[in-house]
Amino acid sequence: MDILHCDLDAFYASVEQRDQPALRGKPVIVGGRPGSRGVVSTCSYEARKYGIYSAMPANQAYRLCPQAIFLPPDIPKYIKASQQVFAILHRYSPVIEPLSIDEAFLDVSGCHSLFGSSTQIAQLIKQDVWEETGLLISVGIAANKFLAKLATNLGKPNGLLELGEEQVREILPLLPVNEIWGIGSKTAQRLKQAGIATASDLLLYPRFKLEAILGSNTDFYIQLCRGQDSRPVLSRSEQKSIGNEITFPQDLDDQKEIEHLLLELSCQVAYRVRHASLIAHTVTIKMRTPDFQTLTRSQTLQQGVDADLTIYKIALNLYHKSGLAGECLRLLGLNCSKLNDRTIEQPALFVDENDTLDQIIDDMKSKFGIDTIKRGSLLNRINRKI
């Protein structure tokens, strides 16, 4: 039972309630405003009692709960909180696989002699996150990634749940198919039309008929329904790429704001690359338009990079040449791939004029906290918003 899944509860809304005590205990919705075509990005648990959920149109959310407090998202603030939480997670395991800005897997199999059992490690994480960030995090513990994520979902909010073999035998057969990892709403609907409502239904259904619905992933879903998942937790050094992306609750067409967010992403991803002692040879940006068309642009370099501003300059150039500069976007992402071990690659290949400053910034973050120091251009952006 060495796999932990950590997931911050109602992340965006919880950050707003933390920073504005008057919002605590009230239905809070972060995302689009009523009267717009925006959607709910995240909502507090008080709002969820009214049937509101992420990606719901803001107008529908307003009809369900007119007294809800609608707030625009503050992405830089959420990135800052995320960085604080991930710094805490790194105290307890070097093997961390980020899933999103507020969610990650940890393999703690090599950490018990330092911190105790998996349950004790989960308790320490929850305590540190609360005391240092004022946020609640749910943790699921199990023998594999699928079951650990399931444990988190079952334990929310503010949960700590360990799924052993006995609990898995009780819970898994009745698990609705829409709660099986990777099965979206459309696939779940097709399964239900075929009479498959639960994991046990799926296991009893003829495989050749399942393949017509699930395609090449049929065997993977069958294994999950049996509680089997052989996928390892991939640390950053083992990952083929390191990246992050932001989905905007409302379409964003302010080019300067997009460029600043691209700088935020570049600094965040570059820090992760350096923290893993890696060097990247390919930088990719990802953009999604309001009509859900996704465009990626990449540049592969002979000389590896890991500096904030170097990666940003490459990403900015890709953005300006993409044909979408100044256009509305609903998603922006940045990814570094073709990663090599920095200690193995010859130093002459990655000498960068920005390395010294980045090292100073990294040292400050390591000694005094991840938010101790920030680039002036990002501080200027915060000041302009205030």
Question: Would the pLDDT of 143 be above 50?
Answer: yes
Query: CA torsion, points 101, 107, 111, 116, in degrees to nearest 10?
Result: 90
CA–CA separation, 91 vs 101, rounded Å? 18
User: Which CATH class for the 241-374 domain?
Assistant: alpha beta
**Active-site residue, selected from the candidate residues 103, 162, 259, 264:** 103
The reply to whether 168-225 and 241-374 are identical in fold is no
pLDDT at 379: 47
Question: Would the pLDDT of 365 be above 80?
Answer: no
Closest CA to 310 of 341, 343, 336, 277: 336
Domain ranges of the chain: 12-73, 168-225, 241-374
Question: Would the pLDDT of 20 be above 70?
Answer: yes
pLDDT at 310: 92
Under 8 Å between Cβ of 160 and 183:
no
pLDDT at 341: 66
Going by pLDDT thresholds of 50, 70 and 90, the confidence category of residue 346 is: very low
> pLDDT tens digits for 83-136?
899 999 999 998 898 877 889 999 999 999 999 999 999 999 999 999 999 999
CA–CA separation, 4 vs 112, rounded Å? 13
Under 8 Å between Cβ of 79 and 61:
no
pLDDT at 362: 57
Kindly report which listed range (179-183, 310-314, 377-381) carries the lowest average pLDDT score: 377-381
> pLDDT tens digits for 249-267?
788 889 999 999 999 999 8
User: Across all residues in the chain, what is the average pLDDT?
Assistant: 86
- Of 364 and 309, more confident: 309
pLDDT at 375: 53
CATH of the structural domain 12-73, one choice from 3.40.1170.60, 3.40.50.620, 1.20.140.10, 3.30.390.10: 3.40.1170.60
Token pair for residue 145?
């990634």
pTM score > 0.75 for this model? no
> pLDDT tens digits for 317-334?
999 999 999 899 999 999
Does residue 103 have an active-site annotation?
yes
pLDDT at 350: 41
Cis peptide before 72 (omega within 30 of 0): no
pLDDT at 59: 94
Going by pLDDT thresholds of 50, 70 and 90, the confidence category of residue 344 is: low
CA–CA separation, 254 vs 82, rounded Å? 24
CATH of the structural domain 168-225, one choice from 3.40.630.30, 1.10.150.20, 3.30.1300.30, 3.10.20.310: 1.10.150.20
Q: Look at the alpha carbons of 73, 79, 80, 85 in this order and tell me if their dihedral is positive or negative.
A: positive
Token pair for residue 379?
């501080």
Token pair for residue 215?
């395609």
**Region 35-44 average pLDDT:** 87
Under 8 Å between Cβ of 281 and 338:
yes
Report the run of H or E that residue 330 belongs to, with start and end.
strand 329-341
N-to-C CA span, the chain? 46
**Region 166-193 average pLDDT:** 90
